[in-house]
Amino acid sequence: MRLSRFYMPVMKETPAEAQIVSHRLMLRAGLIRQQAAGIYSWLPLGKRVLAKIEQIVREEQNRAGAVEVLMPTLQSADLWRESGRYEAYGDEMLRITDRHKREMLYGPTNEEMITDIFRSTVKSYRQLPVNLYHIQWKFRDEVRPRFGVMRGREFLMKDAYSFDLDADSARKSYRRMFIAYLRTYARMGLKAVPMRADTGPIGGDLSHEFIVLADTGESQVFCHRDLIEMPVPPADFDYDGDSESVVNERTSLYAATEEMHDAAAFEALPEDKRITARGIEVGHIFYFGTKYSKPMNAKVAGPEGTDVLVEMGSYGIGVSRLAAAIIEASHDENGIIWPESVAPFDLALVNLKPGDAATDEACSKIYRELGAAGRDVLYDDTDERVGAKFAAMDLIGLPWQVIVGPKGLAKGEIEVKNRRTGERESLTVEAAIKRFATRPAF
RNA sequence: CGGGGCGUAGCGCAGCCUGGUAGCGCAUCUGCUUUGGGAGCAGAGGGUCGUGUGUUCAAAUCACACCGCCCCGACCA
């Protein structure tokens, strides 16, 4: 994409309303624009990041055996009356009345709806297990939205729902998601630690929050140091094999949010193993048994021929929130530093002197050949001053900057800058093309 | 929802206290110069001062109401 044809409204100054760094940088780099309290438009750069995050989530869900569907944002109140949550959910739920005076709501989550889909289509235990997920916008009418998309009212979320015949297999389903989550966050360059969580209003007896450690985190968290450096299950992890040891290895070490914190147990750890930090919740998984299947009568015929209530779990990932969480975890004073896997473009190509024949030609060659190789290149072909160009590129945080100017070219060189480390390297045009033309596999 | 604060040009702000018909910086446009880390000079465009009502000869400025947004707290992916 040529910057001259792209839409990327970057700002030098920070809008007054933004308090935390991710919110400031998202506004300054032109990722989002606020439309109302807690409601945002996603501009091209932000939209690209969102799509990258979404795709990683999707790939890991699929790998773990979950199946994608798409449920609507608007739901009927009747469905929620069945579970009793229409009354229980309170003012957080945005209620809407349609022209026929039918009561509707903008879904804050989808347990009822997925249970309805399940019960009307799955009749036998032979069809189990089933795990369905979707990636859809949700709305929770937070009393006080803040921190940009970190705590918006409208947010993009992946939510998966598992259905099993009995508690044992339901726990197996839970572990699949647990492992898929470890991989998902790691692929985004995040260290997310699973912590015992309060099951809250959704209920159930087994639940973990996945927490990214960041100074600006909303809650205090406590965990064992070894959790931070634990290796991630590989891409070819056998989900049908032993998931228990992977999960146990992690859940046996101390890790808890403030609400679940047990000071005595934590103090019992060796001092150098204790980590007290701030955390951002980026996922939450629950096993809640028959909490919804029972009131909504979701049953299948069991092996003995009698109907059995299905055992359910639900598994959320805050997709839009992750965009902010990644920035919180990865930025410097100049701007965002995107991990390669979620960067809106693979690299920036900076033409320091548009109009200079040799510079234009070198840039054009790099742009075309990397494009042909499948790389997403943001080519800054604009007339801005170099200082402004560099500042903008640092701000938007693409992992690599390929810098081409007449001075370097006179020596047969262009410059490659690593946004994260700041390291610069001089290469020939051909060497730079070769370097970036091959996409590293994760 | 309790407490606090703010709405003036795209962004950041001054002007309001003490009413007299709107200004600064950045950004934008034009010209010249400049050109490897957010340039300089000269000129230009852009605002129903959140909305409504009231007070007044006169309201960005005073009063009342409403709307919106932000911050702290209680609540949450």
ipTM: 0.91
Distance of A8 CA from B14 C1′ (whole Å) = 30
The mean per-residue pLDDT over the stretch A401-423 comes to 96
Task: Name the amino acid, one letter, at A219.
Answer: S
Contact A397, A422 (CB under 8 A): no
Residue A74 has pLDDT above 70, yes or no: yes
The residue among A99, A116, A104, A113 whose CA lies nearest residue A76 is: A104
Distance of A143 CA from B52 C1′ (whole Å) = 27
| pLDDT at A439 (0 to 100) | 64
- Residues (236-275, chain A) with CB within 7 Å of strand B atoms: none
| Interaxial angle between packed helices A167-187 and A244-251, expressed in degrees from 0 to 180 and rounded to the nearest 10 | 70
Residues 6 or more apart whose CB falls under 8 angstroms from that of A410 comprise: none
For chain A, how many residues are written?
442
Average pLDDT taken over every residue of chain A:
93
Distance of A384 CA from B44 C1′ (whole Å) = 21
Percentage of chain A beyond pLDDT 70 is 98
| pLDDT at A441 (0 to 100) | 42
Distance of A153 CA from B52 C1′ (whole Å) = 30
| pLDDT at A83 (0 to 100) | 92
The residue among A218, A215, A97, A98 whose CA lies nearest residue A150 is: A218
- Residues (190-219, chain A) with CB within 7 Å of strand B atoms: 200-202, 209, 218-219
Query: Closest protein residue to B12 using CA and C1' atoms?
Result: A13
The 10s digit of each residue's pLDDT in A41-73 is: 999 999 999 999 999 999 999 999 999 999 999
The mean per-residue pLDDT over the stretch A152-160 comes to 95
Banded model confidence at residue A442, pLDDT cuts 50, 70, 90: very low
Residue whose entry in the numeric block shows the structure tokens 């985190």: A217
Residue whose entry in the numeric block shows the structure tokens 């009356």: A81
Residue A252 has pLDDT above 60, yes or no: yes
Distance of A266 CA from B55 C1′ (whole Å) = 66
Residue A428 has pLDDT above 70, yes or no: yes
The mean per-residue pLDDT over the stretch A214-224 comes to 86
| pLDDT at A13 (0 to 100) | 86
| pLDDT at A203 (0 to 100) | 54
**In this structure, is the CB of residue A56 within 7 Å of any atom belonging to strand B?**
no
Contact A288, A312 (CB under 8 A): yes
